[in-house]
Structure formats: C-alpha cells, structure tokens
Amino acid sequence: MHKAFETGHNGVVVSDHEIPDIEESPEAATPQDVLRWAVDRYGERLTLSVSFGGPEGMVLLDMLSRITDRVPAFTLDTGFLFEETVAFREEIMERYRVPLNVLTPGLSLEEQVERYGPELWSCKPDICCEVRKVEPQKRYLRDYDAWVTGIRRDQTPQRADTPVLGQDDFFGVAKIAPLAGWSADDVEAYVHEYDVPLNPLLSMGYRSIGCEPCTRPVAPGEDPRAGRWADSDKTECGIHIAGGRVRRADT
C-alpha cells in the first residue's frame, strides 16, 4: 500500500506522478489530482482534517498516504468522542504512515464544567463546539497555509456551494475540498476498491459520527446526518458553516 517517496522541489512531493495544473478548472479534476496539486503547491504547510468518524476523511487519508508521507493530518479530540472512534484512530494510524496531530481543547473537561456548568453540549452546544472544536482548530491552523477537508456538497443544503478550491478567512487558510463533487456512492466505491478501513460504528446504525453525547444512530432511509444534535435545530459544529453559509473568501 505504501511506497518510498522521492523529494520534490518543496520537499514532500510524490515521485512518479506528473503534477496536474488544476487551478483553471478544479471542478473537473479528480480528488487525487487535487491532492497532488495541493501537496506540490503547499508542501508541509498543507494539512488534512480527519475525524475518524465518517468515510470521507478515511478516503482522503488513504489517497494522501499514496502521494506523500510528509504532509500531516489532524484530528479534533474533544474529550467526548466514542471510545470506538479513539480505538479505531489508534489502530488505524499504525497502518497509515501519515503524521497525525491530535488536537485537544484549551479547557479540560473539568475546567469547562467549572466555567460553564455541566452538560454544556445539551444547554449551549454552540459554545461547547466553539471551545472543543473551533478554537483548537483555529490555533492549529495558524501554522498552516491550506486545509484539506472531506466535506461533500450533497451532505447538507448548507454545503451545496462548497468549492473544490476555496479560501477560509476565519481560519486564515486555503480550504480544499477534493470530494466536494462526489456522492456517497463514489465514496463507497473508493472504500471498496482500496479496502479503506472504516469506524466500526458505521456498521452499527451510525451514519455520521461526532461526539457521543450529540450523536445517535439513524433509521434506514433517514438522513445520514439526522443523528447529529438530533434533539435540537443545530446541524453544524461551526467549523465549516458560520451564519448558515460555508466560510470562504467570496461570501
């Protein structure tokens, strides 16, 4: 699965593939070509977010591992993850040689309770997500120029205008979504073809997996994201969507 990598002009580029010029028409490029271009363009200032919940991050991790072993991935460990997700993450990173940064919030769970009270996720989930996801990611991305994410346009109406190549002014980085135009079937086909490992909860009725207090399984035919913040009108943690819109430069 993994091969030896040669050093390109920015220190990290894969050896045996031509680097595509995708800036003219990024929507027509394959996700692998988008990643190759991004690795060539940003080198070690590029980073990939992986939640180890849904299949999209795993697909991108697999693709990236075939291109380079020098560009790091990162994941947000809120302290509220399912133990299955943490165990899966630890097991699977033995298989992929991509460096992984595990981000933790500035406030411990105890400090959060002290400052905001217990079960913040239930009374003020936006603040909880801000403390445990948005702030750690903002701190981390200060050291990077570009962020690769697995979001797809057909996941939610709010994600429907996600560009493959965008700019996130809030986080101050280029935001690259190689799978923006892919369907769930495209993702599943890649998983099948390349034998990509998936979070075991996905075969237990969970279709979109986040923190344990805010995630439930969904019924057959139900929207895959219906199990996230199911008892409230919250649909996003705030990393991708702010004020109902995808964060990017031209909004």
Binding site for ligand SF4 (CB under 6 A): 78, 80, 121, 125, 128-129, 132-133, 210-211, 213-214, 237
Query: Which C-beta is closer to ligand SF4: that of 50 or that of 98?
Result: 50
From the list 148, 162, 133, 152, the residue with the least C-alpha distance to 46 is 148
State both tokens at 215: 């995630």
Query: Which C-beta is closer to ligand SF4: that of 141 or that of 164?
Result: 141
Report which DSSP code applies to 44.
G
Sequence-ordered list of residues with C-beta below 8 angstroms from that of 204, at least 6 positions apart, any chain? 217
State both tokens at 145: 């120029």
**Per-residue CA distances from 160 to 92, 184, 243 (Å):** 31, 14, 15
HEC readout, 54-78: CHHHHHHHHHHHCCCCCCCEEEECC
CB of 1 to ligand SF4, least distance (A): 32
CB of 80 to ligand SF4, least distance (A): 4
In this structure, are residues 233 and 141 in contact, taking their beta carbons and an 8 Å threshold?
no
Query: Which C-beta is closer to ligand SF4: that of 19 or that of 242?
Result: 242
Query: Which C-beta is closer to ligand SF4: that of 41 or that of 133?
Result: 133
* Catalytic residue selected from 128, 129, 211, 237: 237
CB of 191 to ligand SF4, least distance (A): 24
CB of 132 to ligand SF4, least distance (A): 4
Tell me how far the alpha carbon of residue 247 is from its chain's centroid: 15
From the list 77, 79, 85, the residue with the least C-alpha distance to 110 is 79
- The residue whose Cβ lies closest to ligand SF4 is 211
Q: How far apart are CA 136 and CA 73, in angstroms?
A: 14
From the list 205, 207, 209, 199, the residue with the least C-alpha distance to 81 is 209
Query: Which C-beta is closer to ligand SF4: that of 132 or that of 175?
Result: 132
CB of 225 to ligand SF4, least distance (A): 12
CB of 81 to ligand SF4, least distance (A): 8
Q: How far apart are CA 11 and CA 178, in angstroms?
A: 22
Query: Which C-beta is closer to ligand SF4: that of 68 or that of 78?
Result: 78
Quick check: is 237 catalytic? yes
Instruction: Phi first, then psi: give them for residue 61, nearest 5 degrees.
Output: -60, -40
The catalytic residue positions are 237
